[in-house]
Amino acid sequence: MALQFARAFGAEVTAFSTSAGKEQEVHALGAHHFVNTRDSKGLKSLAGHFDFIISTINADQDWSAYLNALRPSGALVFVGVPPTPVALPVVPLLAGQRKVAGSPIGSPWQIREMLDVAARHGVKAQTERFAFDKVNVALGKLRKNQVRYRAVLAR
């Protein structure tokens, strides 16, 4: 959804993924560009390129590479929670006046505003639906990290 919202707000959107197979999918969701983070040169070649990076994932990464990809005064914002503490070098923060922040969820008025934007721009959650009697199948896929985006139980 972050890709779709960023595109709706007029941003030039770059998606990052460890899976090259997601490239077409992220373009369909609104990304202009794609970076495979398993390619060590991919992210490093974008040093000083971004004003804003939002991390939606719950996985460990080379966070210093993301920090270095920011322009001066850029921001790295976490909305996902990595499993281990995030360690960042201080020199790029100081030298580039870069910022690191986090946000769990918006206020009620911000949520209303985002729902309005979603309705106007066709922003939709990507879900994989499971019938209630398939809850164990859904849980099995979830445990194996095989659910695409979000699992939803539906009647």
Q: What tens digit of pLDDT does each residue of 49-90 get?
A: 999 999 988 888 889 999 999 999 999 999 988 999 999 999
pLDDT per residue as tens digits for the range 117-129: 999 999 998 899 9
Position 53 scores a pLDDT of 95
- Half-sphere exposure for 63 (CA within 13 Å, toward CB): 23
Mean pLDDT of the chain: 90
Q: Are 4 and 124 in contact (CB under 8 A)?
A: yes
- Half-sphere exposure for 12 (CA within 13 Å, toward CB): 4
The pTM (predicted TM-score) of the whole model is 0.81
Within the chain, all domains assigned CATH 3.40.50.720 are found at 2-123
How far is it, in rounded angstroms, from Cα 38 to Cα 36? 5
pLDDT bin (cut points 50, 70, 90) of residue 106 is confident
Assess if CATH 3.20.20.70 describes domain 2-123. no
The yes-or-no verdict on residue 40 having pLDDT over 80 is no
